[in-house]
Structures are given as C-alpha cells and as structure tokens.
Amino acid sequence: MGESPLITPYEVVIVGGGINGCGLLRDLALNGVKALLIEKGDFASQTSESSSKMLHGGIRYLENFDFALVQEALEEKNLWLKLAPHLCSERPFFFPVYKHWKYPPIGLRLGLWLYDFLSHFQNKPHGWFKKAEVLKEFPELNPEGLLASGQYYDGIVDDHKLALECLYDALVEPQVEALSYHEVTKVETVNGLEKISIKDRLTGEQKTVKAKFVVYLTGPFTDKLLPKLGVPWTPKLAPSKGIHLWLKPDTIKAPASMVLTTKDNRVIFVIPQRDAILVGTTETPVKENIFDIFATDEEIDYLIEALKSYFPKAPITRDSIISTFAGVRPLAREEGAAGESLGKVSRFHKIYRPTSTSYVMIGGKYTTFRRMCQELASEIVPRLEKRYEPNKTLNHLRVHSTVGTFQNNEITPEAVKCIVSTEKVRTFEDLFKRRLSKLEGFTEETRIAGLTAKDLDLPLRGPSKA
C-alpha cells in the first residue's frame, strides 16, 4: 500500500500512548500546541493498565527516604480525588504488624504520622488498632504473632480509564489528534524538522508526518525502540515485572484494603473493589518479551502462597481467580546500582534530550504523571515561542467515559455503539477491557450486551506487539 501525502507539520509528535503520553498531550493541547499522539496498540494498553489501581504516595518509599517523591505523589493523589471523583476514591488501608516484621510497631506508627505530614494533613488521619480489634475486622487473618495494625488512607483508581479521559480532554482542542494501532517505523531529520514514518497496524496504510519536536514516552520499551529508530541512546532502564490477580469477592473476608509484607520483604496489596479483590504485586526482573506479558504459574503460586500465610482459613485456590494481568514498570536505573533490589530502585523520573529536537522521559510513578508531564511541557512550550501556563491541568476533565468504572451502569447495545463511535475504539478487546473495564478473561466467544465483534464491525483484537 502506498504512502499518503505529508500531513501539515505538527509542533510536537508524542510516541507512546500510556498515561504519560495522554497526560502530555492534554497539557500541550491546553497550552495551544499542535500535537499528535502515536500509539502502537490501544491507548493505555500496556504498563498503564497493569498497575495496582492505586493513586498513592507510596508508603514503602519512606524506607528509602524518598520524602520528596512521597510528598509530591500524595499531593497529586489528593488533587485527582478532587478532579476525577468518578474514577478514583479514597480508601482505608490496614497494615498489620507481626513479630517477624523487620521494624518494631513504633517504626510503623512514626511512618504513618510522617505519611500524613507529607500530605499536608490532607489525608484522612491514620489510626492504630490492637490485635483484638484487627481480628474483629479481619476474622480470617492469621493471629499467630500478630501484634497490631496501622491504618492509613490512599486512593484507588481505574488506571487505564484515567489515561483515556486525559486523552479525551486533550481531543476537545481542535489542533490535536491521536492515533492508536500505529507504529513508528522511521524517524529522520529533514530541513530542521523531524520526519516520522508511521504504519497503521490494522489496515497497513502508511503515513508520514513532520514535527518540530518528537517526545518518546515509551516506558519499558524505550531501550529497545530508540536504537531501532536511530536515536542516540544507551540502555537506562531497570525493568521490573509485576503481576496481579483478580479474585472472587468471597475468597477472603476483607472489608477493607490491606498491605502485607512477605518473608522476602516484598509488599502485597489486597484491595476489594469492583465486586472483586485485587491482589498484587511482585517485583521480578523481566526475562521474557516485554510486550503483552502475562502472569506465569510460578508467579501466581507465589501470590497465592503469600495470601495463604496471612489467611490460612480462607478458601484461596486457583478456582478463586477471575483473571490475572501483568505489566512492566519502566524504572530508571541508577548508576552503579546493578545489584540493587528492584523494590528499592527510585521511582523518580528522568528526562533526556538525545538530540536538539527530541525528548525522552523514563521512570516515575503513575500517580505523579501530571507533574512529570508539566516538567516536559514547561521545556517544550517556550521553545515553540508560546507562553506555558501550568495551572491549566488543574481543571476538571471535560469528557467522561460513557460507562463509569465504579457505578452500576446498564450496558445496553445503544451504549456500546456510542462508545465505539466516540471513544477511540478500534478493536473489540479495546471495548471490553478498557472502555468497559471488564475483569473477566477475554476470549473469542465474548459478547457485550449481546453484541459480537462482527456485529460492531470490529476486529476481535489487534496484532501482536512483539
């Protein structure tokens, strides 16, 4: 299929449509920048849909003395609770303390106070519960060695839907566009502009666009993609794989979320939500292909065994699992930290300029994406001889999803067709997983409101990203 004519030059082309790509597109759009977002799959279909579904400061990062990061993340968490209450909410998290825990209870109590302090006391106040009080709340919790439990507050979120609504908000502005299932095949500098060749992975159509600047927000895929495109780059990531399980709601009697520590010092969250229980995550080096990764039997068994040690009377088996998912965290590697635990690698982000007309950002936390994008936008917008106004991203999102995440929406054929026509859906899997936030496994037999992929004239799923 031949190449289409050149499109009028953009000021900025963003490669990568996860939370950072969608967040940066929104920031640039609100500041009047003509921008294009290019994503190889569906928007928010990789790392940005594979988090622990939390907006949080990261209480465990206090151990690493990352106080500035925790404070920034808590400020952002509390901001998004106000800006997008339909996508996120504040929940109590219990943190049980056992005799085998490496720190005494006073250490946790100090940490909980510090967590509230770093939130400028915008969090709901933390609490402390004696052993009997904890067991009354969690009757299946292992009482052996239990001393007490702290309680603090963090947010839960529909991660991919927040990214999508940032995208929808950006697209309100007429000078921006976003393309899913488009792969960047070549980038070259021609007459001071970046010439980007792209291919539609569903139709085979090829296009070429030009831009003054290219921004690569490709997360864990950065180290492999940039050299392939000829961008001056040496590996800078310490990718970490995390897996999660969605469990049936009656698997564990857990009326509130919990933070559990394993014998090998990992942190596991148990979060009741969406008529299910989310359990995760793990911290392991990535060995397989990092596109479309999945939870292995070994990793699933690890989480199940960890849960059983805390809830020995609960009927936790593989039959308890609704579905599983996995993702890769794009952690920024520290110089000389090759042997460091992945759990201790900093969640701070880093920005690079490999050429005078390109930017790369890696690392960071989901919760702080808006601040990360602000830092990028504050560099790019003035170079376009425009005034950058950072406070524009403090406004509420103007376009909401047709079907909410935490509301009991009736999914009708009419609602499904509306989503397909208005929410950047290109495959049936996009609709099922990310526009409707379904937890069940996706198969060829899946129907939505009685409709099949054929009924909606959609391919079942996109091509493999490998």
Residues 133 and 260 in one domain: yes
Co-location of 438 and 298 in the same domain: no
Phi first, then psi: what are they for 105, rounded to 5°?
A: -55, -35
- Alpha carbons within 13 angstroms on the beta-carbon side of residue 150 total 23
Domain shared by 320 and 359, yes or no: no
Residue 79 covered by a domain:
yes
| Same domain flag for 127 and 145 | yes
Does 402 reside within a domain?
no
List alpha helices for 127-243, DSSP H: 131-137, 159-170, 222-228
pLDDT 10s digit of each residue in the chain, 466 long?
A: 344 444 568 999 999 999 999 999 999 999 999 999 999 999 999 999 989 999 999 888 888 888 999 999 999 999 999 999 999 999 999 999 998 787 789 999 999 999 999 999 999 999 999 999 999 999 999 999 999 999 999 999 999 999 999 999 999 999 999 999 999 999 999 988 999 999 999 999 999 999 999 999 999 999 999 999 999 999 999 888 889 999 999 999 989 999 998 877 788 999 999 889 999 887 777 766 777 788 889 999 999 999 999 999 999 999 999 999 998 888 887 765 444 444 445 568 899 999 999 999 999 999 999 999 999 999 999 999 999 999 999 999 999 999 887 766 778 999 999 999 999 999 999 999 999 999 888 888 899 999 999 999 999 999 875 5
Residues 196 and 171 both lie in one domain: yes
Does 416 share its domain with 382? no
pLDDT of residue 336: 52
Residue 399 falls within a domain, yes or no? no
CA angle in degrees (0–180, nearest 5) for 369-349-121: 60
Instruction: Answer yes or no: do 116 and 132 share one domain.
Output: yes
Do residues 28 and 40 share a domain?
A: yes
Q: Are β-strands 257-261 and 88-98 bridged in parallel, bridged antiparallel, or unpaired?
A: parallel
pLDDT of residue 3: 45
Q: Are residues 370 and 447 in the same domain?
A: no
Residue 142 lies in a domain: yes
**Same domain, yes or no: 182 and 102:** no
Compute the CA torsion angle 444, 449, 453, 457 (nearest 10 deg).
Answer: 180
Tell whether 38 is covered by a domain: yes
Query: Do residues 41 and 134 both lie within one domain?
Result: no
The pTM is what?
0.93
Q: Which domain holds residue 298?
A: 69-155+239-328
In a domain, 121, yes or no: yes
Instruction: Give the Cβ contact number of residue 458 at 10 Å.
Output: 19
- The answer to whether residue 337 is domain-embedded is no
Pairwise CA distance, residues 21 & 217, whole Å: 6
Domain limit, last residue, from 328, 351, 373 = 328
Q: Are residues 139 and 262 in the same domain?
A: yes
Number of folded domains that form the chain: 3
Q: Is residue 56 part of a domain?
A: no
